[in-house]
């Protein structure tokens, strides 16, 4: 007889645990547009099945809620049903013994408030106002609407040049995005339901790697119209590309010596090798874009002049000024904004950090770029100072991990309070106040002071990476609407009171991603074309291979590998290793072709023209 | 070429051929339910699945291509079992009260269930119920809908009207009028193409046969029925009559045996329409009224509903002439009623039409000086005619060719071709030529305007008549029509006269015609109408002696005040829901 036993999970339990994992991945891939009431009912049934059954509110109350939801869905409910549901949910929240009960009721309660209109539509009309959206999740979630299943199928067949041609229909920066796109496309990849999302970004990079140089398509006949684009970043150049293809003549005004904007002067070479960026820019310029360098808007030229000289004007100046910390000592020598710091590196005029201790303030992607650049510039010690936890950082997970691997220190839960300088006004160090993580508001954990004493972090350079602003002053004076420091366009990218003037990219959205700027460029190019009195369309003649009918057996995702940290931190060469062609082909074969299988073949599948 | 094996047979097909087409070519039919060639190839019903050797999952044959070296089984135990279970699932959500269904014996679900020898339903029935206004000309029974999505696709891809849509998600996914509208507030044109492409009985026209039977039985009422040109090319298809056997004379016999008092042929009023519309066109053309925008024909009520809802600013471009159905009704209740000495109120006018929209058209507003009531009281589709023939237990083989009643007995070949795309234009041009030059052209001089169901876009033709050049266009299907109107509005094309028929192929392919799932018979029926025109002794509407007599005795002349009050209409007198 044994007094105690080591519990051994039974077979059923093991299988259920696997099913939980399956369900987690499935929820991750859940498309939007589903009826929220039907979903609530499904969630409620899951929650109810989790109940131990001891207490009345959970065991009985949840099933009452379920019956009431069913009444709503069956068209048998009255407006009073909602009040009863609300009261019932509140009662369970207030009386249930444990979280299984009160959190289940809370989910229903949140829905009663959050999608009341949908509830009312069901009750009043007996009809559901929802439609299935995102039939092809990756395409729906790509701000530029790139034909992802299409180019993955082309990659699978080894037709890399065609893949690039197809991508360019919606995105003239295939190489750049292959390296640094934040790949929102992967978020709800249906392949998650089988095993894991397809490595879409990686496949794009490989298409670009294997394709070599691919010339752009021929431009449509010249319209004789001229368009000025202020700012040669991704948004400006993408719009320039599409307008050129439509037959308009574009002149890009760029104040810096080279084109690319943040891609060149913000993103470090180790993430996006500049010769690869040049591949994209060369193809864009090959369409006949004219470029005028060294002219600064507001000083050398004005919007009003451009409006007189050109048929349309587009503002894509990005967000290139830094946000200030607003703490004592910020003007000390050795305090530099991340934007300036990275721009200097891009201009090959980097400051010397050899042997220095450097603090970078902020937890976003720019901060990661700055710390990893500082490491490469030979700093002795590089630390990120951040108010919250690593988990709260807004930077991509891969970037954070890359920085840690390269030896960056993470000074989390420390809020900067003061910069201390020596007699000559040079930075001596940073005073920070210890924080503790606190209550969650709007889905994000806040912090509060621990009450411990401030700490001193000795350093000689402080890089501030807490966000960027837009140089809007000149535009505001020219009558361009500006709100909270961001240019306010209408949804068509223009301004009702300034016909012929358009704006897009970071300056119209606040700092965002490359692919969002490219997505906006399609909207703006189309609307400038309409404004100029045309209706050109952009399409690709690349024929997409028929879908692969193989069984979709689970198969691991090919992740990109990186050069070893100790080696890569010594130079600015690219850190990411390419896939082999075999890896590339296997990864491409994982695509489920949602454009052909499922709802995509019925509605919202392939869009071949815009 | 692609070489593969289907059911142990070596098959060789062109690249790009679907598995289903490859099998069909090899004499191996694969059952299907939702599939509609080029319209609905979405693999929704999963009935057409086949097994590919070496693959676990079955593949739909309708939308996947044959590949080199494939070894396919269309009838393996695995295929049979899964196909049967799929149909059993469909049946669990389908009201299988077949004996009371309008599509009994002409239902694709019934057919496949029977083929698969399904003798019991293993799953519990759960029928979806949505309320529906049974007085509307188009009726949808949610309990029969199998969500094949064909109605959505037909309305979207052929007609571009988009009345139907998927509604809701998950287990409660349904089909309903799009945009959360009711059918009454939608811009449905009532073309009926969704009905003729529904594989089951979920969509049908409002059945008005009881109204006709009531009128026949009511001793106080005198019934006068007219039969549209396109009906003669289709009614025999489901009665076992060959194309040549199924004559208008036999329809007349059937209608008399059913009990109608007077039987007429709408070809007469088609000729009458040409007299009014042809004269109106020549008048408008000469005034320079067609320099910017053409005059559009007005005989298709689906088209009228379409232009009123989508292009209300172009309604003035329609001919003001009523359609042949309405003209005949007006003549029956005035001229004819006087002739036989019956009060218009005691007359019940009935029409047999290849069309569902005609049921809506018969409700149109009339001018003040007309008699009370409607031009046409009861509109029946070709399908309803066939049902009445069956109800009366008339053996079609015993029908004889008998003439219509007088004094509206004659019809010309020009009137017969009203039932097919291009026919109205051709008939109008034959008479316009006469009006302009004073002599007849060759009867087939304008045959170039003829188009077919398969024709994409529209057919444009320019004619020199005397010293006048007339630019015409003929279009069928509303998606094509929308494209034509957009080009007209952009100014990239210009025409003087445009014929529009809402249904693909014109009335021959009308939404009220007999249904043959998977077959499109409009072109074949249209050819039959052209053959009848060629055989006709008179082929010019203006030479219809009965029409001439009508003008002499009653209407004075085309476009007279009286003709205007009876034979023309104000298209703005009623409203369509506007497109949102």
**Residues whose CB falls within 8 Å of the CB of residue A52, separated by 6 or more in sequence, listed in order:** A58, A100
A602 neighbourhood in chain B, CB within 8 Å: 42, 44, 149
Interface test mutation site (partner A, options B4, B17, B39, B42, max chain A beta carbons within 10 A): B42
**Does residue A363 sit in the same domain as residue A461?**
yes
A493 to each of A165, A173, A476, B416, how far by Cα in Å? Answer: 26, 21, 16, 56
- pLDDT category of residue A480 using cuts at 50, 70 and 90: confident
**Residues whose CB falls within 8 Å of the CB of residue A46, separated by 6 or more in sequence, listed in order:** none
Q: State whether B59 and A549 contact (CB < 8 Å).
A: yes
How many separate domains does chain B show? 3
**Does residue A381 sit in the same domain as residue A459?**
yes
Global pTM value:
0.90
**DSSP readout, A411-466?**
E-SEEEEEEEE-TTSBEEEEEEEEEEEEEEETTEEEEEE--PPPEEEE-SEEEE-S
CB B56 within 8 Å of CB B105: no
A133 neighbourhood in chain B, CB within 8 Å: none
Output the pLDDT for position A222. 95
Q: State whether A35 and B170 contact (CB < 8 Å).
A: yes
**Euclidean distance between CA atoms B322 and B313, whole angstroms:** 19
Among chain A, residues having any CB pair with chain B shorter than 8 Å are 33-35, 38-39, 42, 73, 121, 125-132, 546-547, 549-552, 596, 601-603
Mean pLDDT of A209-225: 95
Name the β-bridge partners of A419. Answer: A430
CB A71 within 8 Å of CB A81: yes
Q: Is B108 a member of any domain?
A: no
A73 neighbourhood in chain B, CB within 8 Å: 172
**How do residues A51-107 score in pLDDT, each as one tens digit?**
999 999 999 999 999 999 999 999 889 989 999 999 999 999 999 999 999 999 999
| Residue in A with minimal Cα distance to B65 | A546
Q: How far is CA B533 from the centre of its chain?
A: 20
**Euclidean distance between CA atoms A235 and A272, whole angstroms:** 17
Q: What's the mean per-residue pLDDT of chain A?
A: 93
| Residue in B with minimal Cα distance to A552 | B57
Helices within B438-559 (DSSP H only): 478-490, 522-535, 545-550
- Rg (C-alpha) for chain B, rounded Å, is 25
**Does residue B157 sit in the same domain as residue B222?**
no
Q: What is the CATH number of the domain that holds B13?
A: 3.10.20.740
**Does residue A311 sit in the same domain as residue A355?**
no
Number of CB pairs, chain A paired with chain B, less than 8 A apart: 61
Output the pLDDT for position B371. 61
Distance from A140 to chain B by nearest Cα, in Å?
Answer: 18
Q: Is A153 a member of any domain?
A: yes
Please state which of the ranges A490-504, B264-278, B299-313 shows the lowest mean pLDDT: A490-504
Residue A35 has its nearest CB partner, among B57, B130, B168, at: B168
**Euclidean distance between CA atoms B165 and A113, whole angstroms:** 28
**Does residue B54 sit in the same domain as residue B155?**
no
**Does residue A347 sit in the same domain as residue A455?**
yes
Distance from A500 to chain B by nearest Cα, in Å?
Answer: 23
A135 neighbourhood in chain B, CB within 8 Å: none
Distance from A546 to chain B by nearest Cα, in Å?
Answer: 8
CB A361 within 8 Å of CB A416: yes
Q: State whether A129 and B180 contact (CB < 8 Å).
A: yes
Q: State whether B180 and A125 contact (CB < 8 Å).
A: yes
Distance from A80 to chain B by nearest Cα, in Å?
Answer: 22
**Euclidean distance between CA atoms A359 and A410, whole angstroms:** 10
**Does residue A49 sit in the same domain as residue A63?**
yes
Higher pLDDT, B74 or A10: B74
Distance from B432 to chain A by nearest Cα, in Å?
Answer: 39
**Does residue B503 sit in the same domain as residue B365?**
yes
What is the bridge-based pairing of β-strands A427-441 and A455-458?
antiparallel
CB B491 within 8 Å of CB B346: no
The residue to which tokens 């106080």 are assigned? B220
**Does residue B275 sit in the same domain as residue B150?**
no
- pLDDT category of residue A9 using cuts at 50, 70 and 90: confident
CB B465 within 8 Å of CB B433: yes
Q: Is A12 a member of any domain?
A: no
Q: State whether B52 and A549 contact (CB < 8 Å).
A: yes
**Does residue B368 sit in the same domain as residue B397?**
yes
Output the pLDDT for position A6. 86
Q: Is A10 a member of any domain?
A: no
Q: What is the CATH number of the domain that holds A408?
A: 3.50.50.60
Q: Is B100 a member of any domain?
A: no
A127 neighbourhood in chain B, CB within 8 Å: 167-168, 176, 180
Output the pLDDT for position B370. 56
B173 neighbourhood in chain A, CB within 8 Å: 132
Distance from A595 to chain B by nearest Cα, in Å?
Answer: 11
- pLDDT category of residue B154 using cuts at 50, 70 and 90: very high
Distance from B463 to chain A by nearest Cα, in Å?
Answer: 32
Q: How far is CA A430 from the centre of its chain?
A: 31
Q: Is A478 a member of any domain?
A: yes
Q: Is B126 a member of any domain?
A: no
**How do residues A555-604 score in pLDDT, each as one tens digit?**
999 999 999 999 999 999 999 999 999 999 999 999 999 999 999 999 88
Q: How far is CA A487 from the centre of its chain?
A: 20
**Does residue B253 sit in the same domain as residue B380?**
yes
Q: Is B338 a member of any domain?
A: yes
Q: What is the CATH number of the domain that holds A81?
A: 1.20.1440.230
CB A462 within 8 Å of CB A336: yes
Burial (CB < 10 A; 0-12, 13-18, 19+), residue A580, is: exposed
**Does residue A306 sit in the same domain as residue A335?**
no
Q: State whether B63 and A131 contact (CB < 8 Å).
A: no
- Rg (C-alpha) for chain A, rounded Å, is 27
Q: What is the CATH number of the domain that holds A186?
A: 1.10.1060
**Does residue A339 sit in the same domain as residue A383?**
yes
Count CB-CB contacts under 10 A for residue B179.
Answer: 15
Residue B172 has its nearest CB partner, among A128, A129, A547, at: A128
| Residue in A with minimal Cα distance to B35 | A602
**Euclidean distance between CA atoms B353 and B269, whole angstroms:** 13
Mean pLDDT of A389-410: 94
The encoded tokens of residue B343 equal: 């009060």
Residue A127 has its nearest CB partner, among B169, B173, B180, at: B180
Could you tell me the sign of the dihedral formed by the alpha carbons of A330, A333, A335, A340, in that order? positive
Cα dihedral B305, B310, B312, B314, rounded to 10, equals -90
DSSP code for A125? H
Among chain B, residues having any CB pair with chain A shorter than 8 Å are 41-44, 52, 55-57, 59, 63-65, 67, 130-131, 149, 165-174, 176, 180
**Does residue A164 sit in the same domain as residue A247?**
no
Judged by DSSP in three states, B469 sits in: strand
**Does residue A64 sit in the same domain as residue A143?**
no
CA angle, residues A287, A292, A295, in degrees to nearest 5: 150
B52 neighbourhood in chain A, CB within 8 Å: 549
**Euclidean distance between CA atoms A406 and A568, whole angstroms:** 8
**Does residue A449 sit in the same domain as residue A487?**
no
Helices within A126-261 (DSSP H only): 137-141, 148-156, 160-168, 174-180, 200-211, 234-245
Length of chain A, please?
A: 610
**Does residue B236 sit in the same domain as residue B282?**
yes
**How do residues B502-527 score in pLDDT, each as one tens digit?**
999 999 999 999 999 999 999 999 99
Domain ranges, residue B282:
214-580
Report the Cα–Cα distance between both ends of chain A, in Å, rounded.
Answer: 76
Last residue of a domain, one of B165, B180, B205: B205
Q: Tell which residue, A103, A109, A74, has the closest CA to residue A89.
A: A109
| Residue in A with minimal Cα distance to B70 | A549
**Does residue B164 sit in the same domain as residue B303?**
no
CB B211 within 8 Å of CB B205: no
Q: How far is CA B368 from the centre of its chain?
A: 31
A39 neighbourhood in chain B, CB within 8 Å: 170
Q: State whether A602 and B149 contact (CB < 8 Å).
A: yes
Percentage of residues in chain A having pLDDT higher than 70: 100
**Does residue B244 sit in the same domain as residue B275?**
yes
Q: Tell which residue, B349, B29, B23, B16, has the closest CA to residue B208.
A: B349
CB B514 within 8 Å of CB B386: yes
Ramachandran sector of residue B16 (left: φ over 0; alpha: ψ -120 to 50; beta: rest): left
Q: Is B394 a member of any domain?
A: yes
The residue to which tokens 């299984």 are assigned? A100
Output the pLDDT for position B578. 64
Distance from B164 to chain A by nearest Cα, in Å?
Answer: 13
**Euclidean distance between CA atoms B397 and B383, whole angstroms:** 18
Last residue of a domain, one of B205, B227, B261: B205
Output the pLDDT for position B372. 57
Higher pLDDT, B145 or B180: B145
| Residue in A with minimal Cα distance to B45 | A598
| Residue in B with minimal Cα distance to A547 | B64
A33 neighbourhood in chain B, CB within 8 Å: 169
Q: State whether B170 and A38 contact (CB < 8 Å).
A: yes
Domain ranges, residue A445:
324-467
**Euclidean distance between CA atoms A409 and A422, whole angstroms:** 24
The encoded tokens of residue B444 equal: 């087939």
Mean pLDDT of A100-124: 94
B62 neighbourhood in chain A, CB within 8 Å: none
CB B350 within 8 Å of CB B377: yes
A530 neighbourhood in chain B, CB within 8 Å: none
Name the β-bridge partners of A431. Answer: A418, A456
Q: Is A285 a member of any domain?
A: yes
Judged by DSSP in three states, A333 sits in: strand
Q: State whether B169 and A35 contact (CB < 8 Å).
A: yes
Q: What's the mean per-residue pLDDT of chain B?
A: 94
Strands in B240-307 per DSSP E = 262-265, 295-296
CB B311 within 8 Å of CB B483: no
**Does residue B428 sit in the same domain as residue B445?**
yes
Interface test mutation site (partner A, options B22, B71, B72, B170, max chain A beta carbons within 10 A): B170
Last residue of a domain, one of B205, B224, B241: B205
Q: State whether A131 and B176 contact (CB < 8 Å).
A: no
A596 to each of A169, A421, A592, how far by Cα in Å? Answer: 20, 63, 9
Output the pLDDT for position A123. 93
**How do residues A324-351 score in pLDDT, each as one tens digit?**
888 999 999 999 999 999 999 998 888 8
- pLDDT category of residue A301 using cuts at 50, 70 and 90: confident
Mean pLDDT of B565-572: 90
Q: Is B230 a member of any domain?
A: yes
B149 neighbourhood in chain A, CB within 8 Å: 602
Count CB-CB contacts under 10 A for residue B457.
Answer: 14
Residue B42 has its nearest CB partner, among A73, A129, A601, at: A601
Q: Is B365 a member of any domain?
A: yes
**Does residue A354 sit in the same domain as residue A383?**
yes
Angle between helix axes B209-217 and B382-391 (nearest 10 degrees) is: 50
Q: Is B158 a member of any domain?
A: yes
CB A411 within 8 Å of CB A371: no
Strands in B120-254 per DSSP E = 138-140, 164-167, 174-177, 203-205, 222-227
**Does residue A255 sit in the same domain as residue A331?**
no
A568 to each of A292, A372, A574, how far by Cα in Å? Answer: 36, 10, 8
Q: Tell which residue, A192, A297, A242, has the closest CA to residue A521.
A: A242
* Complex-level ipTM: 0.85
**Euclidean distance between CA atoms A244 and A283, whole angstroms:** 12
How many separate domains does chain A show? 4
DSSP code for B157? I
**Does residue B238 sit in the same domain as residue B182?**
no
Output the pLDDT for position B579. 52
Output the pLDDT for position B580. 46
**Residues whose CB falls within 8 Å of the CB of residue A491, separated by 6 or more in sequence, listed in order:** none
Q: How far is CA B542 from the centre of its chain?
A: 27
Q: State residue A83 phi and psi, 5-degree precision.
A: -65, -45
Q: State whether B56 and A551 contact (CB < 8 Å).
A: yes
**Does residue B177 sit in the same domain as residue B230?**
no
**How do residues A510-539 score in pLDDT, each as one tens digit?**
888 999 999 999 999 999 999 999 999 999
| Residue in B with minimal Cα distance to A75 | B130
């Amino acid at each position: 007889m044994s007094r105690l036993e080591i519990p051994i999970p039974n077979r059923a339990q093991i299988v259920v645990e696997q099913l939980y994992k399956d369900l987690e991945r499935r929820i991750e891939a859940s498309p939007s547009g589903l009826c929220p009431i039907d979903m609530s009912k499904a969630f409620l049934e899951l929650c109810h099945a989790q109940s131990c059954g001891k207490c009345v509110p959970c065991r009985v109350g949840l099933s009452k809620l379920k019956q009431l939801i069913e009444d709503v869905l069956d068209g048998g409910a009255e407006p009073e049903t909602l009040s009863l549901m609300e009261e019932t949910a509140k009662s369970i929240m207030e009386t249930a013994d444990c979280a299984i009960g009160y959190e289940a009721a809370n989910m229903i309660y949140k829905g009663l408030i959050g999608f009341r209109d949908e509830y009312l539509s069901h009750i009043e009309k007996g009809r559901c106002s929802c439609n299935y959206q995102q039939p092809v999740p990756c395409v729906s979630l790509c701000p530029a609407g790139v034909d992802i299943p299409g180019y993955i199928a082309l990659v699978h067949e080894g037709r890399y040049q065609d893949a690039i041609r197809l991508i360019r229909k919606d995105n003239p920066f295939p190489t750049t995005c292959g390296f640094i796109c934040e790949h929102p496309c992967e978020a709800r990849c249906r392949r998650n339901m089988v095993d894991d999302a397809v490595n879409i970004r990686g496949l794009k990079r490989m298409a670009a790697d294997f394709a070599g140089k691919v010339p752009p398509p021929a431009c449509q006949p010249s319209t004789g119209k001229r368009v000025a684009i202020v700012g040669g970043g991704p948004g400006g150049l993408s719009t320039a590309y599409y307008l050129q293809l439509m037959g308009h003549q574009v002149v890009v005004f760029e104040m810096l010596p080279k084109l690319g904007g943040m891609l060149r002067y913000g993103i470090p070479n180790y993430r996006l090798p500049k010769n690869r960026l040049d591949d994209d820019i060369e193809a864009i310029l090959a369409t006949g874009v004219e470029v005028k360098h060294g002219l600064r808007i507001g000083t050398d030229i004005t919007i009003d002049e451009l409006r007189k000289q050109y048929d349309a004007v587009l503002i894509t100046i990005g967000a290139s000024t830094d946000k200030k910390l607003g703490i004592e000592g910020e003007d000390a020598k050795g305090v530099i904004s991340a934007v300036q710091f990275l721009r200097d590196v891009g201009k090959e005029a980097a400051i010397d950090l050899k042997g220095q201790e450097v603090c970078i303030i902020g937890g976003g992607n720019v901060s990661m770029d700055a710390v990893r650049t500082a490491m490469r510039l030979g700093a002795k010690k590089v630390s990120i100072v951040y108010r919250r936890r690593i988990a709260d950082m807004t930077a991509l997970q891969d970037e954070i991990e890359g920085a840690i691997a390269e030896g960056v220190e993470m000074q989390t839960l420390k809020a900067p309070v003061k910069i201390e300088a020596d007699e000559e006004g040079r930075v001596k160090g940073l005073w920070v106040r210890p924080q503790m993580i606190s209550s969650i508001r709007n889905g994000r954990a806040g912090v509060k002071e621990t009450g411990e004493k401030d700490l001193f972090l000795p350093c000689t350079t402080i890089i501030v990476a807490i966000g960027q602003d837009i140089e809007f002053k000149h535009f505001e004076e020219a009558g361009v609407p500006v709100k909270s420091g961001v240019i306010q366009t209408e949804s068509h990218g223009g301004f009702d009171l300034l016909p012929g003037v358009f704006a897009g990219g970071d300056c119209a959205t606040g700092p965002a991603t490359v692919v969002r700027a490219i997505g906006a460029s399609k909207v703006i190019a189309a609307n400038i074309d309409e404004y100029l009195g045309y209706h050109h369309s952009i399409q690709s003649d690349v024929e997409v291979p028929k879908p692969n009918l193989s069984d979709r057996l689970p198969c691991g995702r090919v992740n990109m590998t990186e050069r070893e940290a100790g080696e890569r931190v010594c130079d600015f060469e690219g850190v990411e290793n390419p896939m082999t062609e075999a890896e590339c082909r296997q990864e491409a074969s994982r695509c489920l072709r949602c454009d052909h299988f499922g709802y995509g073949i019925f509605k919202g599948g392939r869009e071949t023209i815009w | 070429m692609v070489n593969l094996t289907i059911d142990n047979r070596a098959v060789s097909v062109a690249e790009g051929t679907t598995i289903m087409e490859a099998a069909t070519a090899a004499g191996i039919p694969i059952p299907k339910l939702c599939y509609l060639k080029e319209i609905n190839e979405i693999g929704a019903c999963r009935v057409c699945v086949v097994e590919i050797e070496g693959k676990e999952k079955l593949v739909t044959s309708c939308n996947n291509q044959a590949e080199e070296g494939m070894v396919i089984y269309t009838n393996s135990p695995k295929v049979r079992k899964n196909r049967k279970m799929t149909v059993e699932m469909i049946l669990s959500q389908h009201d299988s009260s077949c004996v009371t269904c309008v599509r009994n014996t002409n239902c694709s679900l019934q057919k496949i269930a029977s083929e698969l020898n399904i003798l019991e339903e293993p799953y519990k029935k759960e029928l979806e119920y949505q309320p529906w206004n049974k007085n509307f000309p188009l009726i949808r029974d949610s309990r029969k809908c199998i969500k094949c999505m064909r109605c959505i696709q037909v309305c979207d891809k052929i007609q571009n009207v988009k009345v139907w849509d998927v509604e809701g998600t998950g287990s409660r996914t349904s089909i309903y009028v799009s945009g959360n509208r009711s059918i009454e507030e939608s811009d449905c044109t009532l073309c009926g193409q969704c009905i003729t492409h529904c594989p089951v009985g979920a969509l049908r026209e409002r059945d008005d046969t009881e109204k006709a039977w009531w009128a026949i039985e009511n001793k106080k009422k005198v019934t006068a029925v007219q039969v549209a040109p396109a009906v003669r090319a289709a009614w025999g298809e489901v009665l076992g009559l060959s194309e040549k056997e199924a004559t208008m004379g036999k329809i007349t016999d059937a209608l008399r045996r059913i009990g109608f008092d007077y039987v007429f042929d709408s070809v007469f009023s088609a000729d009458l329409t040409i007299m009014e519309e042809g004269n109106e066109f020549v008048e408008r053309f000469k005034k320079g009224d067609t320099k910017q925008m053409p005059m559009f024909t007005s005989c298709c009520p689906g088209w009228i509903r379409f232009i009123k809802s989508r292009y209300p600013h172009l309604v003035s471009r329609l001919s003001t002439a009523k359609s042949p159905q309405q003209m005949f009704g007006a003549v029956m209740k005035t001229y004819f009623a006087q002739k036989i000495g019956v009060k218009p109120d005691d007359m019940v006018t009935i029409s047999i039409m290849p069309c569902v929209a005609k049921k809506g058209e018969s409700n149109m507003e009339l001018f003040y000086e007309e008699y009370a009531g409607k031009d046409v009281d009861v509109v029946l589709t070709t399908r309803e005619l066939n049902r009445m023939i069956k109800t009366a237990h008339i053996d079609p083989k015993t029908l004889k060719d008998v003439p219509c009643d007088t004094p509206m007995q004659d019809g010309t070949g020009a009137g017969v071709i009203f039932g097919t795309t291009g026919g109205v234009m051709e008939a109008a041009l034959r008479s316009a030529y006469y009006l302009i030059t004073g002599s007849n052209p060759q009867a087939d001089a304008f045959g170039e305007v003829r188009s077919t169901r398969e024709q994409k876009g529209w057919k444009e033709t320019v004619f020199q008549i005397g010293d006048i050049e007339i630019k015409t266009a003929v279009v069928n299907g509303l998606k094509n029509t929308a494209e034509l109107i957009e080009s007209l509005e952009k100014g990239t094309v210009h025409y003087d006269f445009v014929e529009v028929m809402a249904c693909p192929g014109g009335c021959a392919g009308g939404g009220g015609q007999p249904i043959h799932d998977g077959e499109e018979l409009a072109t074949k029926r249209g050819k039959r109408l052209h053959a009848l025109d060629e055989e006709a002794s008179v082929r010019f509407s203006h030479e219809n002696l009965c029409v001439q007599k009508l003008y002499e005795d009653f209407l004075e002349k085309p476009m007279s005040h009286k003709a205007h009050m009876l034979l023309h209409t104000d298209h703005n007198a009623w409203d369509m829901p506007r497109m949102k």
